[in-house]
Structure 1
Amino acid sequence: MKDLVALGRYSLAGLRMLVLATVVLGLAYPLLVTGIAQVAFPWRADGSLVTATGAHTDQAGDAVGSALIGQLVTDPGLFQPRPSAAGDGYDPLATAGSNLGPESPDLEKAIEQRRAEIAEREGVPASEVPADAVTASASGLDPDISPAYAALQVPRVAKAQGLSEDAVRQLVARFTSGRSWGTLGEAHVNVLRLNIAVRQAAQARSSS
């Protein structure tokens, strides 16, 4: 009988701890962190959404994409992103890399094919195509490209949009970010925000 009473007490104590942990860690803590993020970093907390004007937005209905998630660019007159191995390509529900090793024949074949296609598209020798132009990121959703890949695309984009190459280079420089804290990563260019700015510049030129 005493054993049953003791078991009951232990079970009740465990249940109380479970309820307390659920309330504190499953409800209170997430709500606290979310509240702090909404006050301190509202744009980032809401997914770093960007409007068609390039401005930050907290309204998902007004957004054309996220500055943190790469997406397929179908307009050949705009800057192209890195290749994607996420699902069928740029699928945010299937984020992943190709998982192919550096000596994989399939990977080598894909890289050479991409290099040839990009070289033809940009009108440059294959040796000038940078590495990030032919390799997918680990997530398959990298929103950025290297300054070298952006520079390679400037003449094509400028011609397609009726802009001077100098004007497009200035836009590339505007959306180029350096290393995080000056040491981590590499300089990068956000494709979504750059393409929005390119379209705006082309529209302004045609209406002037």
Structure 2
Amino acid sequence: MFIIIRKAFMALILLTLLTGIAYPLLVTGLSQAIFPYQANGSIIVKNGKPVGSALIGQQFDDPKYFWGRPSATTPYPYNGSLSSGSNLGPDNPELIKAVQARIQALHAADPGNTAKIPVDLVTASGSGLDPHISPAAAEYQVRRVALARGISEAKIRALIAANTEGREFGILGEPRVNVLKLNLALDDL
């Protein structure tokens, strides 16, 4: 019996050293050496101060800024420690009510906009932290942002084009716009 306990204890020590210490140190060291920007949270710095992460969305509700995808995280939007979707199905009355409220908020912010609202402006992503919107969602907001800032729609469209990221490796995913980067570019105008 003692031999079995000793072997089990030795296996515990060995596996703890390998999987609890050696492997995390190796992975952390490699990520810091090969991808330091991503490994450290892809922090965007402006004027020497961190303003956010390129990987986690932020709440923007001022009309002079582009708004990102809604966040389903609780107890507040874009809560990185509680990443989750709403888990509400398409027929769930709560989801329908939330989408209708988001549509009303978009119409209230820009009553003259009669374009179709892109789905990513009224539905949360699976993580609730998506920092990107589609180019169509950015285009939908051009008029509101131009009016709020008193600049031409053409200048804003040029910023959208400059901040649109293409498909990964030219084939994966869809083109997208990082909302924080776009809003920082707007502030730099």
State whether TM-score is above 0.5: yes
The match for 2:113 among 115, 121, 124 is 124
- Show structure 1 runs of 4+ deviating over 4 A: none
Matches within 5 A, 1:26-37: 26-37=20-31
Matches within 5 A, 1:151-170: 151-170=139-158
Matches within 5 A, 1:71-90: 71-87=58-74, 88-90=76-78
- 1:99-150 Cα offsets, whole Å, 9 max, x none, are 111011221222122223213323212x511111111111111101110010
State the one-letter code of the partner of 2:178. N
In 2, the alpha carbon distance for the partners of 1:84 and 1:91 equals: 8
In 2, the alpha carbon distance for the partners of 1:9 and 1:159 equals: 78
CA contact under 8 A between 2:68 and 2:133: conserved in structure 1?
Answer: yes
Higher RCO (C-alpha 8 Å, min separation 6): 2
**Aligned residue for 1:186?**
174
- 1:81-114 Cα offsets, whole Å, 9 max, x none, are 1111111322222222221110112212221222
The aligned length equals 187
**Aligned residue for 1:3?**
none
State the one-letter code of the partner of 2:55. L
The match for 1:173 among 161, 166, 170 is 161
CA contact under 8 A between 1:71 and 1:143: conserved in structure 2?
Answer: yes
Query: What 5-or-longer segments of structure 1 have no aligned partner?
Result: 1-6, 54-60, 202-208
State the one-letter code of the partner of 2:130. D
**Aligned residue for 1:198?**
186
Shift of 1:46: 0.2
In 1, the alpha carbon distance for the partners of 2:120 and 2:29 equals: 37
Identical pairs, percent: 48
Q: Normalization by structure 1: what TM-score?
A: 0.83
**Aligned residue for 2:53?**
66
Aligned to 2:177, the other structure's residue is in SS state strand
Shift of 1:179: 2.1
**Aligned residue for 1:19?**
13
Aligned to 1:81, the other structure's residue is in SS state coil
Aligned to 2:90, the other structure's residue is in SS state coil
CA contact under 8 A between 1:83 and 1:136: conserved in structure 2?
Answer: yes
Structure of greater Rg: 1
Aligned to 2:103, the other structure's residue is in SS state helix
**Aligned residue for 2:2?**
8
* CA RMSD, Structure 1 to Structure 2 (Å): 1.7
**Aligned residue for 1:205?**
none
Residue 109 of structure 1 pairs with residue 97 of structure 2: yes
CA contact under 8 A between 2:63 and 2:109: conserved in structure 1?
Answer: no
CA contact under 8 A between 1:119 and 1:129: conserved in structure 2?
Answer: no
Q: Normalization by structure 2: what TM-score?
A: 0.91
The match for 1:148 among 136, 143, 166 is 136
Matches within 5 A, 1:38-49: 38-49=32-43
